[in-house]
Amino acid sequence: MLDLLIHNATLPDGRTGMSVAVQAGRITTVEPGLQAPAHEELDAGGLLLSPPFVDAHFHLDATLTYGMPRVNQSGTLLEGIALWGELKPSLTADAIIQRALTYCDWAVAKGLLVVRSHVDTSDPSLMAVQALLDVKRQVAPYLDLQLVAFPQMGVLRHPGALDNVRRAVALGVDVVGGIPHFERTMQEGAASVKLLCELAAELGVPVDMHCDESDDPLSRHVETLAFETQRLGLQGRVTGSHLTSMHSMDNYYVSKLMGLMAEARLHVVSNPCVNITLQGRFDNYPKRRGLTRVPELMAAGLTVAFGQDDLMDPWYSLGCADMLDVAYMGLHVAQMTSQIAMHQCFDAVTINPARILGLQGYGLDAGCHADFVLLQARDPVEAIRLRATRLKVYRRGKLLASSPASIAKLNLTGRPPQTPFYT
Ligand code: FE2
């Protein structure tokens, strides 16, 4: 007897009329029209069944602090970092934990079941690290949380920062982070990349570095990241996040750089909602978009994900834990409007970040974890277009969240009552 049998689902790869059978928290069978006894059956009605959304880049220690103690007036990354510095002395572990747990509730309701969060390690007490490790334990039954040790104030610019990263990993943080473009000089930025990659190699953990998050066409830290990845044999274990400078770089240089990145098997995370608002702030018109070269990086064979980055914090005032919002923004800003490209945008918030995070058992194949989301949409493009309602969210075959279908009843003068299905 199966635990759960889903009928008539459409899968992201386009297969329709599919049945998905679940036993003991794992998918046992995926095939058309399966009939078998099950404790629970669900007719998907031809709608899209997707693996859960994955956010490869978030800041859970800062989330839901919007307006504390004030709002970012210039809208720049640098004022956001300064504002975060003003806020930090008033932070408490309890408040970080409560805000993070609230955010994780929002995430589950949106079918977002895996989050990689950076955590600021600048404070020698590592209070935020301890708080998010506590959150990781608390949410483990329903959400997978990976943590990145993030030296927000730089490692050469901030005394003790490298040791703090080492101590954070010893406490259980999963990944080494960095922020070379915030170091005092380009040379110190490059030195910080070298130091952090060497530390990650020594500790045996992956790297995910904020890199070249500026509009400076001469920023070169992703080149150093690719070089150190190869030098230390870290291929496939290193991620460059943001990479917004690539938007502004010389085209010839980028053509060489992308080859170096592909050789190093770097992963890329672009954060479209945040970078379309942070970048180009020092431009007159025309204003640069400031997003990295997503379709070109994908075409070069790199795995590229879209991340959310921030939500209601010193850097970004909006957001609702909806990775379809992120995909929608990425699609527009990167002009990924062909059918293939729109499907790639859906992949950029599902299977691509899953690959970057090294998730085991992710996907809709026999043997995978029974983690999936039923969307009120017929295919991935429609899911993005509508930011479709998450009708059901399952993890390990258990229903975690459900939402009623979005249906508006119209009452238009002179016309019979209408009930459009998609709104
Ligand atoms: Fe970030």
Kindly state the average pLDDT of the residues 100-116.
Answer: 98
Distance (angstroms) between ligand 1 centre and the Cα of 343 equals 25
Distance (angstroms) between ligand 1 centre and the Cα of 57 equals 6
274 and 381 together in one domain = no
Alpha-carbon gap, residue 74 to 280, rounded angstroms: 12
195 and 221 together in one domain = yes
Kindly state the average pLDDT of the residues 280-305.
Answer: 96
Query: Considering only 93-102, 258-267, 404-413, which range has the smallest mean pLDDT?
Result: 404-413
Q: Within a domain: residue 267?
A: yes
Distance (angstroms) between ligand 1 centre and the Cα of 213 equals 9
Cis bond upstream, residue 286 (ω within 30): yes
Supply the pLDDT for residue 413. 80
Whether residue 207 is predicted with pLDDT greater than 70 in this model: the reply is: yes
Write out pLDDT tens, residues 111-163: 999 999 999 999 999 999 999 999 999 999 999 999 999 999 999 999 999 99
Write out pLDDT tens, residues 327-379: 999 999 999 999 999 999 999 999 999 999 999 999 999 999 999 999 999 99
- Please identify every residue annotated as catalytic: 213
Write out pLDDT tens, residues 269-291: 999 999 999 999 999 999 999 99
Alpha-carbon gap, residue 168 to 150, rounded angstroms: 9
Distance (angstroms) between ligand 1 centre and the Cα of 58 equals 6
14 and 66 together in one domain = no
238 and 266 together in one domain = yes
Supply the pLDDT for residue 420. 66
Supply the pLDDT for residue 49. 98
**Which residues 6+ apart lie within 8 Å of 316 measured at CB?**
273, 274, 277, 278, 309, 310
- Can you give the CATH number for the domain in which 274 is found? 3.20.20.140
The token duo for 14 is: 């386009």
Write out pLDDT tens, residues 16-31: 999 999 999 999 999 9
387 and 251 together in one domain = no
Whether residue 235 is predicted with pLDDT greater than 60 in this model: the reply is: yes
Q: Within a domain: residue 416?
A: no
Range of the domain at 341: 53-356
250 and 382 together in one domain = no
The environment of the single-atom ion ligand 1, i.e. residues with CB closer than 5 A, is 309
45 and 82 together in one domain = no
Q: Residue 421 — very low, low, confident or very high, per pLDDT cuts 50/70/90?
A: low
Alpha-carbon gap, residue 197 to 231, rounded angstroms: 10
Supply the pLDDT for residue 412. 80
Distance (angstroms) between ligand 1 centre and the Cα of 267 equals 15
10 and 57 together in one domain = no
Per cent of the chain over pLDDT 70 is: 99
Alpha-carbon gap, residue 414 to 351, rounded angstroms: 48
Q: Within a domain: residue 419?
A: no
Supply the pLDDT for residue 42. 97
Supply the pLDDT for residue 422. 60
Supply the pLDDT for residue 17. 97
Whether residue 423 is predicted with pLDDT greater than 60 in this model: the reply is: no
Query: Considering only 26-35, 58-67, 218-227, 401-410, which range has the smallest mean pLDDT?
Result: 401-410
Distance (angstroms) between ligand 1 centre and the Cα of 152 equals 9
Q: Within a domain: residue 216?
A: yes
What is residue 338's three-state secondary structure? coil
Mean pLDDT for all residues in the chain: 96
- Can you give the CATH number for the domain in which 37 is found? 2.30.40.10
Write out pLDDT tens, residues 209-233: 999 999 999 999 999 999 999 999 9
